[in-house]
Amino acid sequence: MKFCDECGSIMHKEDNTWVCRSCGYEASRDTAAEQKMVTTQAQEDGGIVDISEAEDRGLPSTSVVCPNCDNDRAYWYMQQIRSADESETRFFICTECEHRWREDDH
């Protein structure tokens, strides 16, 4: 895939030339360079990467006791589950047993 140097639109192949259908710009094709390009269809499928055992969930962690296993560390995130005029609820995920619980405002 090539983009137009003039207007940025996608260019189309016409024989040995790239042609922009938006502005009419033309550029010659370099077939040797095009053959070296790797397309997404030609890329190998690396398979699914299992990150279930990864330490970092991309969430912040804090010091809090898990009610399930008494571990002293948990990931946390905030979510609005009630009406907009009420505060958000903080949810925790234990770093050891992955037990989930929430902190309610009382």
**Cα separation, 14 vs 2, whole angstroms:** 13
Alpha helices in the chain (DSSP H): 31-36
| Predicted TM-score (pTM) of this structure | 0.45
pLDDT surpassing 50 at residue 89: yes
**Cα separation, 25 vs 37, whole angstroms:** 23
Q: Which amino acid, residue 76? A: W
To the nearest whole percent, how much of the chain has pLDDT over 90? 30
pLDDT surpassing 50 at residue 36: yes
Could you list the residues known to form a binding site for Zn(2+), using ranges.
Answer: 4, 7, 20, 23, 66, 69, 94, 97
pLDDT band at 20; cut points 50, 70, 90:
very high
More confident position, 81 or 18: 18
Average pLDDT score, the chain: 81
Domains of the chain: 1-37 (no CATH), 61-103 (2.20.25.10)
